[in-house]
Structure 1
Amino acid sequence: MDAGILFWKAFCENGESELIDLTTIEASMTDSVVATLPVINPSTYTKTISSPVVVIKSEYRRYHHALKASNEAMPINLLYGWGLIGYWGGVMFLGTLWKVGQWFYYLRFNKSKAKDIEKPNQSSQGELALPKSLAMLRHWILLYIVIPATIGTYHQRLFWWSNIPNRLDSLIVFGFWALSIILGFAGYDTFSGNPTVTSLPEQNWEMLSDRTAILSYACLCWLWMFSGRNNIFLWATGFSFQSFNIFHRHIARICTIYAIVHSIGYTVEWIVYYPKYFKSLKENWFIFGIVATIALSIMLGFSSVFLRQRSYEVFLVIHIVLALVVIVALFIHTSYFGTQYNGYLWPTVAIWCFDRFLRLVRLVYCNFSVFSGKAKTTNASVMYSSASDVIRIDLQPTASSLKGRPGQFYYLYQPYTLRGWENHPFTLGAFTNGFEDSSPNTPEIVKKKVTTTTTAQLSDSSDDAVKLKSYRSSSLSNTLTFWIRPYDGWTKRLRNECIKGGGVCYPKILIEGPYGHTQMLHTYDSITMIMGGTGIACAVPYVQDFLGKSKIAISYTSKIKLVWTVRQPEFVEEVCANDLSAAICDQRIEFEFYCSKKNVPTNISTSVHSSDEVTKQIIIQSGRAPVASLIAESGTEAKLSNSRAAVLVCGPAAMADEARAAVHQALKNGCRTLDYFEEAYGW
C-alpha cells in the first residue's frame, strides 16, 4: 500500500497534478473491506471512479513493473558508475602489485649484495634467477602483452595521425571501452505497455539520458587524476607518464561521448515528448549543462596530435581554461538537484588543487632557501653551441638534499619573461651530487683529428668546446645538467638570448621536480643503450650511476654498450669531453657513435685525455646505428650465457619502434632474460 501511494503521488506530480489525501482511505482498507470492492480493468473501464476499487492482477503487474523499473533505475545507474570507477581502481591495484613485486626483487638483490660485498660485478643469475615456472610466466607476459606494439611496429610513431599505445596499454584501454559500451547501453528495463510512459522510444531516451549522465560524472575523478604531474599512481604503479596520458585521453573521449549522448537524449525527450526544452533554456542549470557539453567537445577537438605538436602552448591554455569552465558549469548544472551529485565534482577539485599545491611546494623546495640567514635561489648558466645546435643548461638548486638520479625529469621555468608562466619538461642529462660526483675526472685536453679533408665543421666548434670545458666549475654543489634542442617557442627565445650574450647567458631559471622513475638497471649483467640525438640525456645519468655504484660494489653490471646516433658530431665531442670523460676511459663501457647527417666526414676520431692520464680514442661513424642487429646480438649473448640483459632506448620515434620490434624478436627467439626500457623522447 505504501509503495502504491508513493507511486501514484509521483505519477500525479509528473502530470502536474496533486494526489488526494489517502490517509482516511488507507486506515479503512482491511482485508474484509478489500474483498467487497469491485474489480476493474483500467484499460477498458470508462466510468468515473469515485470510490475505492481493486485493479485486476494483470494491470497491477504492469503498474508494479513500471514502478519497479522507475525506482531501480537510479540505483543501477549509480552502481554502473562505480563499475567505471572500479575498473581503473583495479588497474591501479594490479599495477601497484607489480611494482611491489619489483621492490621485493630489489630488496632480494640488496640482500644478496650484502652477503658478497667483496665480489662486485658478479653474475646475477645464481642468486636473482626466478623459479622456472615464474620465469616462463614472466617471459610469456613480456612476449605477448608488455613488449609488442599493437599495430605492426607502430608505437612512438604516429599511425594515421594517432598515437598507438603498446599492447599492454591497448588492452587496458580496450577493456575500458568495452566496459563503457556495455554499462552505457545495456540493462535498461523498458517494455511495451508501460502505463506511465507509454512510448517505448521515450522510455529508452529517458533511461539512456540518465545513465550516461551518471557515467560521464563517474569519469571525472580519474580524468583529472591521470592528467596531473603529481598523480600518486605514477610512483605507486611504475606506469610511465606517457601511459597515463593515453589513459587520460581515452577517459576524456568516453566522458565526452557520454555527455553528448546525455544532451541529445534530453533534447529529444523535451522537444518530442514534453514541451519543456525552450522553457528550460531560460534557467541557468539547463544552460550550463549545454555549456559543459560544448566545452568538453571543444577540448576533445583541440587535443589533436596536430595541434599539440605544432602549438603546444595554445593547446595547454585552451585545455586549462575549458577544464575550469567544465567544472564550474557542472556545479551549476547539478545544483538543480541540490548537492546530490557534488560527490563526483568535489574530488576533481581536490585532485586539481592537490596537484597545483605540490607543484608550488616543489618550486619553493627546489629554488628558494632562507635557512642560512640569507635568501638563496637557483643558479643557472645557459650555453648554446652553434656547432652542435644544442643548449646546455647547468643548474645548482638551493636544496642540498635534491640529488640527481637516473630517469628523472624536471619542469623548467623562466619567470622573469613575458611568458613566465610557461614551463617545459626536460630529462636530466647529467648530474654532480657534490662529494658524490660519480664523474670526477674532468678532461684536461681534447685533441681532434679528422680522417678526411673536411675540417670546417669541427674547427668552427673549437670556441664552444673551450667554453664548455671552462664552465665545468670545481664547486662541490649539486649540479643538474640539461641538453635542449632549440626549436620554436621558449627554446628558440633561450637560444637567441645565449647568442646575444656571446654564447653564454645567466638567466633566472627555476626548476620543479623531480619526476620520473629510476629503473633498476644495476641489477642486470649487461646493458645495451640505444640513444638518438638529445636522447643521450637518458643514458648519461645511468652511466654515472654505474660508475658510482661500482666503487662501492652494489652493481651486478659488468658490461655497458652505449650506441648513440646524432646529426652533429660536435655534440658527441662536447658530451664526451665533459660528462662522459670518466666513462670513456672505463674498460667496462663500450661506445659506438654514429652521425646520420649527410655530407659530413665519414670517420671522425677524437682523443680524450682524462686527469689520470688515461687516453681513449672515439670514432664517429657515418650513417645510422644498426639497432636491430645490436639488440639481436645482446639477446643472443644473454641467452647463451644465461645472464640478465637490459635494453634502454631513448630517441626518435622510428628508432624506438625499431628497438621495440627487435627486443620482441629476441624474446620470440627464446631469450627469456632480456628486458626492455623505453623512455619517451617527447610527448
Structure 2
Amino acid sequence: MATTSKGVSASYPTHVDINDIHAPTHPDDQYKYSHGLNGVNQPQNNLLVNVLLTTLLLVTIVILVYRVGRRFQAERRHVAAATNPARQAIWATNRWKWLPRLKEHLLYAPLWRNRHNSEIQISSAITFGTLPSRMHTILLLGYFASNLAYCLILPWKSADAPFLVATLRGRSGTLAVLNLIPTILFALRNNPFIWIFHISYDTFNLFHRWLARIVFLEVLAHIAAWLYNTLRVGDWKGAMWIINQAESYKWGLMASIAFLLLTIQTWSPLRHAFYETFLLIHRVLVIHVIIGVYWHLKQHALPQLYWAYIFIAFLAAEYVFRFFRVAYFNTSGLFRGRSITKTTVEALPGEACRLTFHLTRPWTGNPGSHVHVYLPSISFWCSHPFSVAWIEPQPLATESGKLPSSIDDLKFKTTNSTISLVVRARTGMTRSLHTKASFQPNNTLTTWGAIEGPYGGFNSLDSYGTVLLFAGGVGITHQISFVRHLVAGHAGGTAAAQKVVLIWSIRSTDILEWTGQWLDEIMAMRDRKNVLQVIVFVSGRNPDLDTKLLPEGIKVRRGRCNASDVIDAEILDQVGAMVVTVCGPGAFADMVRAAVRRRVSVKNIDFVEESFTY
C-alpha cells in the first residue's frame, strides 16, 4: 500500500502493462500528468522545434556565405599573385574598413584578454581546460539562451501547476532528444560540416562538449518535472514501483544515469589525467545513453523516435566509413605481398619519437593534415591524433629505356607511400612508446600499426605573398609540411609566396634532430634562398651549440621568441597579403594571436591556429 499526499491510500498491482500507465488509476486525476503525452503540448513542441531548426539553418547560411566569400577572394588573389608575383602591393592593404575590426574584436578574439588555448591550471597535474573564443562563446550562449527560452514558453496563466509541469516535461524531453543529433554529429571525425565550412574538428569538439551539457540540463528538467507530478500524488515508493513495472522508465533511468556519469567523466581534470581510459569508458557510456533513449522512446511510441534513428545512423555510418578507410590504406590484399602497414619508431632526444608508417597503398594529404594513429602493441583500444610532418611517395618501378605508349605512362605513379610523424612523450601511450623504443637496439622499434586519415589540411596558404609560420616544440610537424609545399610552389610558379618565414621556438638544441633530415632536404630545394628564412629561438641554456653543424640558411637566436617583434619586422617589408599561422603550446599560440590582433588594422593579415585541445 502507498499513501498519497492527500492521505488517500492506493494499491499497486504486481503486474502492469505500459499502456495501462497512461490511464490514471489513482483517485486524484492529476496523476495522469506523470505519464505519456498527457499535458504535453505537442503542436507547440513541433512549432518550437521548427523555429530552432530554422534559426540554425540561418546561422549556417551566414557562416557558409562568409566562408564562400573568403574562399572566392583567396582564389582570386591566388591567381592574380601567382601569375604576376611582382605586383602584390594591392593585396597587402585592407580593402574593407570593417573587416580588420571584425577580426580583432570577434573572429580572432579570445573570450577574456589574451587567454584562449592556455590551460587553466591549479597545479601541474590538474587542469580545467581552455576558454572558448569570443565568437564561440556568442554562438554557445545564443544556443543555450534559445533552448532556455523554449523551455520557459509554458502556460503560465494556467492555475493548474501539474499541467504546466507536464508541459515542461514534454518540452525539455523533446529538446533533449533533438539536441542529441548535433551533439553526436559534432563528435564525429568525419562530420561533413568540417569540410563544408573548413572549420577544424577541434572547434566542433568544443561545440560537442557544450551541447552535451545543454542536453544534460534538459534531461534533468525532464526528470524533475516527472518526479514533481509523480510525488505530488504519491510517494517515493510509488515512483519506484512505476519505474520497476514500466520498461520505458527503466530504459530512461539507465540513459539518465549513463548521462550523469558522462558529465562527471568529461570534467577536464579527469579527462586529461586518464585520457585513454576516458575514451574507452566514454564510448561505453555513450552506447548506454543511445540504447536507453531509443527504448525509452520506443516503448511509449513517442514522435521523437525518428530522431533517434538519425543520430544512430550518423554514428553507425561513421564507424563503418572509418573501418573501411583504415582497412583500405593499411592492408594490401591477398595478392600484393605485404599485407599490413609496417611502423618504425625511433626514440629521439628531447623525449620524442619519430614514427614512420610504410603504407601499402599510395596516400596523399594536404599540408597541415593530421592522422589518427593505431598502435595495438602499445595502446590496444585507442587512436591518437598527430600532425603529418613528411610524406614520401614510392615510385613505381618501370623498365629502363621503355618509351611511353600513352598519356597515362607519363603520369607519376606510386605503389605505396611513407608518412612520418614526430610524437612528444607525455603520458599514457606516448610515454609508453618512447620508453619501449628507447630500450631497443639503435633506439628503434619495428612494429605494425595503422593510420586513419588524412583529416584537416583545408587551410591553403597558396594565395599569400608573405607567410609566417610559428611553431612551438613539436608543433614544427604541422608547419614543416607547409614550408616544403610553399617552397616548391614558389619555384614552380603555383604559389603566390614570395616570403616564407619559419619561426621555431625550442628549449634545447638537441630538439633540432627531430626534423634535421627534412630541413636538409628543404634547404637543398630549388630557389629556396629567394623565398625561405628559418629562425630558431632556443630558450634554454645550451652553450655547446655549434651553428656550423646546422644547414645553411638557419638562424639561431638565444632567448624566448617575441611574436610581436617578429611580426612587426615582417610587416615593414610585407609582400602581398600576409598569413600568420601557429601550432604549439597554448600559451605560445595565445602570444602569437595577441600579436596578430594588434596589427590586423595596419596591413592585410590573416590568422590560422592549429590545436588539439581534446
TM-score by length of 2: 0.84
Corresponding residue of 1:108: 76
SS in 1 for 2:549: strand
Matched, 1:665 2:607: no
CA 1:617–1:246 in 2, change beyond 3 Å: closer, same or farther?
A: closer
**Deviation at residue 604 of structure 1 after TM alignment:** 4.0
Query: Which residue identity does 1:589 align to in structure 2?
Result: L
Which 4+ stretches in 1 moved above 6 angstroms? 69-72
Is contact 1:410-1:512 (8 Å) kept? yes
Q: Which residue of 2 aligns with 1:181?
A: 148
| Code of the aligned partner of 1:634 | E
The aligned counterpart of 1:498 is: 437
Structure 1 residues 14 and 494, CA gap change in structure 2 (3 angstroms): closer
Residue 539 of structure 2 corresponds to: 596
Amino acid aligned to 2:560: R
Partner of 2:547: 605
* Secondary structure of the corresponding residue to residue 41 of structure 2: helix
Within 5 Å, give how 1:468-487 maps onto structure 2.
Answer: 478-487=417-426
Query: Cα offset for 1:129?
Result: 7.8
- By relative contact order (CA 8 Å, sep 6+), the higher-ranking structure is 2
* CA distance 1:393–1:373, shift in 2 (3 Å): closer
Superposed CA deviations along residues 29-67 of structure 1, whole A, max 9, x for unmatched, are xxxxxxxxxxxxxxxxxxxxxxxxxxxxxxxxxxxxxxx
- Seen in structure 2, the aligned counterparts of structure 1 residues 509 and 16 have a Cα distance that, compared at 3 Å, is closer
Offset at 1:165? 1.1
Report if aligned partners of 1:156, 1:657 keep a CA contact under 8 Å in 2. yes
SS of the residue 1:259 aligns to:
helix
Contact 2:503 2:535 in 1 (8 A): yes
Residue 15 and residue 512 in structure 1: after superposition, are their counterparts in 2 closer, same or farther (change >3 A)?
closer
Q: Give the drift of 1:546.
A: 1.0
- Say which SS state the counterpart of residue 380 (structure 1) adopts: strand
Aligned to 1:593, what secondary structure does the other structure show?
strand
The residue number in structure 1 matching 2:301 is 338
Match of 1:583 among 519, 523, 534: 523
2: distance between equivalents of 1:206 and 1:216? Answer: 15
Offset at residue 257 of structure 1 (A): 0.2
CA change 1:580–1:124 in 2 (3 A) is farther
Counterparts of 1:619 and 1:551, CA distance in 2 = 22
Query: CA, structure 1 residues 109+289, in 2 after alignment: closer, same or farther (shift >3 Å)?
Result: same
Instruction: List alignment gaps of at least 5 residues for structure 1.
Output: 1-12, 18-68, 193-198, 437-474, 610-615
Q: Does 2:258 correspond to 1:295?
A: yes
Compare 654-663 and 567-576 and name the one that shifted more: 567-576
From 485, 496, 505, the equivalent of 1:556 is 496
Structure-2 change in CA distance of 1:373 and 1:603 (3 Å) = closer
Are residue 191 (structure 1) and residue 157 (structure 2) matched? yes
Which of 609, 627, 630 in structure 1 is aligned with 2:566? 630
Contact 1:224 1:352 survives alignment (8 Å)? yes
My pick for the range that moved more, 233-242 or 616-625, is 616-625
Q: Are 2:194 and 2:201, in contact at CA under 8 Å, matched by a contact in 1?
A: yes
Give the CA deviation at 1:111.
4.5
Question: What amino acid maps onto 1:233 in structure 2?
Answer: F
**2:462 counterpart SS class:** helix
1:138 to 70, 80, 99: 99
Structure 2 partner of 1:389: 351
Q: What secondary structure does 1:191 align onto?
A: coil
1:651 matched to 2:584: yes
1:164-215 Cα distance to aligned partner (Å, 9 max, x none): 1112111111111111111111x212434xxxxxx53323322111110111
Shift of residue 682 of structure 1? 4.5
Between the aligned partners of 1:534 and 1:347, the Cα distance in structure 2 is 39
Conserved in 2, the CA contact under 8 Å of 1:87 and 1:176? no
Q: Tell me what 1:147 maps to.
A: 108
- Aligned residue number for residue 11 of structure 2: none
Is the aligned partner of 1:94 residue 2:28?
Answer: no
Stretches of structure 2 lacking an aligned partner (at least 5 in a row): 1-21, 27-36, 122-127, 397-413
CA distance 1:131–1:155, change in 2 (3 Å)? closer
Distance (whole Å) between structure 1 residues aligned to residue 607 and residue 112 of structure 2 = 18
In structure 2, do the counterparts of structure 1 residues 89 and 313 end up closer, same or farther at CA, with 3 Å as the change threshold? farther
Deviation at 1:388, TM superposition (A): 3.0
Q: 1:606, 1:618 within 8 Å by CA — same for their partners in 2?
A: no
Structure-2 change in CA distance of 1:372 and 1:518 (3 Å): farther
Q: How far apart are residue 99 of structure 1 and its match?
A: 3.0
Instruction: Provide the rounded CA distance (Å) in 2 between the counterparts of 1:169 and 1:481.
Output: 33
Alpha-carbon offset, residue 273 of structure 1: 3.5
Cα distance change on mapping 1:432 and 1:106 into 2, 3 Å: farther
The 8 Å contact of residues 430 and 579 in structure 1, kept in 2 or not, is answered as no
Distance in 1 (CA, whole Å) between partners of 2:591 and 2:514 is 27
Distance in 2, matches of 1:242 and 1:165, equals 11
Structure 2 distance, partners of 1:337, 1:130, is 62
* Structure 1 match to 2:556: 620
Task: Indicate conservation of the 8 Å contact 2:365/2:457, yes or no.
Answer: no
Separation (CA, whole Å) in 2 of partners of 1:626 and 1:317:
40
* 3-state secondary structure, aligned to 1:189: coil
CA distance in structure 1 between the aligned counterparts of 2:323 and 2:299, rounded to whole angstroms = 36
- Alpha-carbon distance in structure 2 between the residues aligned to 1:245 and 1:555: 32
> Which residue of the partner structure matches residue 567 of structure 1?
507
Q: 2:134 aligned with 1:167, yes or no?
A: yes
Q: Which moved more, 1:585-594 or 1:545-554?
A: 585-594
Where in structure 2 are the equivalents of 1:240-251 lying within 5 Å? 240-251=200-211
Out of 220, 230, 246, the position equivalent to 2:180 is 220
The alpha-carbon distance between structure 1 residues 426 and 525, as it changes in their structure 2 partners (threshold 3 A), is same
What SS class does the counterpart of residue 578 from structure 1 fall into?
A: helix
Alpha-carbon spacing, 1:479–1:274, altered in 2? closer, same or farther (3 Å): same
For residue 360 of structure 1, report the CA deviation from its aligned partner: 0.7
SS at match of 1:376: coil
Is 1:421 paired with 2:381?
Answer: yes
Report what 1:520 is aligned to: 460
| Whole-Å separation in 2 of the counterparts to 1:418 and 1:396 | 18
Q: Quickly say closer, same or farther: Cα 1:498–1:85, change in 2 above 3 A.
A: same
Deviates more, 1:359-368 or 1:103-112: 103-112
C-alpha displacement of 1:265: 0.9
1:489 and 1:204 mapped to 2: Cα distance? 51
Contact 1:601 1:622 in 2 (8 A): no
Tell me, yes or no, if the aligned pair for 1:184 and 1:208 is still in contact at 8 Å: yes
Equivalent position amino acid for 2:45 in 1: N
Work out whether residues 347 and 353 of structure 2, in 8 Å CA contact, stay in contact via their aligned partners in 1: yes
Kindly indicate whether the alpha-carbon contact (under 8 Å) linking 1:404 and 1:432 is maintained by their aligned counterparts in 2.
no
Instruction: After TM superposition, give the deviation of residue 534 of structure 1 in Å.
Output: 0.4
Q: Identify the range of structure 1 (532-541 vs 100-109) with the bigger mean alpha-carbon deviation.
A: 100-109
Q: How much does 1:561 deviate?
A: 1.2
Q: The residue matched to 1:370 in structure 2 has which SS?
A: coil
Counterparts in 2 of 1:606 and 1:382: CA distance versus 1, 3 Å: farther
Question: In structure 2, how many angstroms separate the alpha carbons of the residues matched to 1:147 and 1:370?
Answer: 47
The one of 227, 236, 239 equivalent to 1:277 is 239
- Cross-structure match for 2:368: 407
Instruction: Give the deviation of 1:582 after TM superposition.
Output: 2.5
**Partners in 2 of 1:97 and 1:617 — Cα distance?**
42
Deviates more, 1:584-593 or 1:554-563: 584-593
Rounded to whole Å, the distance in 1 between the matches of 2:155 and 2:421 is: 60
Contact map agreement 1:221 1:344 (CA 8 A) in 2: yes
Q: RMSD over aligned Cα, in angstroms?
A: 2.8
Shift of 1:219: 0.3
Match of 2:360 among 387, 395, 398: 398
| SS of residue paired to 1:522 | coil
Residue 325 in structure 1 maps to residue 288 in structure 2: yes
Larger Rg: 1
The alpha-carbon distance between structure 1 residues 546 and 372, as it changes in their structure 2 partners (threshold 3 A), is farther
1:404–1:480: 8 Å Cα contact kept in structure 2? no
The separation in 2 between residues aligned to 1:314 and 1:85, in whole angstroms, is: 35
Task: Report the 3-state secondary structure (helix = DSSP H, G, I; strand = E; otherwise coil) of the residue aligned with 1:421.
Answer: strand
Q: How many residues end up aligned between the 2 structures?
A: 554
Which residue type is aligned with residue 295 of structure 1?
A
TM-score by length of 1: 0.76
Q: Distance in 2 between matches of 1:86 and 1:318?
A: 35
Instruction: Report the alpha carbon displacement of residue 608 of structure 1 after superposing the two structures with TM.
Output: 4.4
Q: Secondary structure of 1:158's partner? A: coil
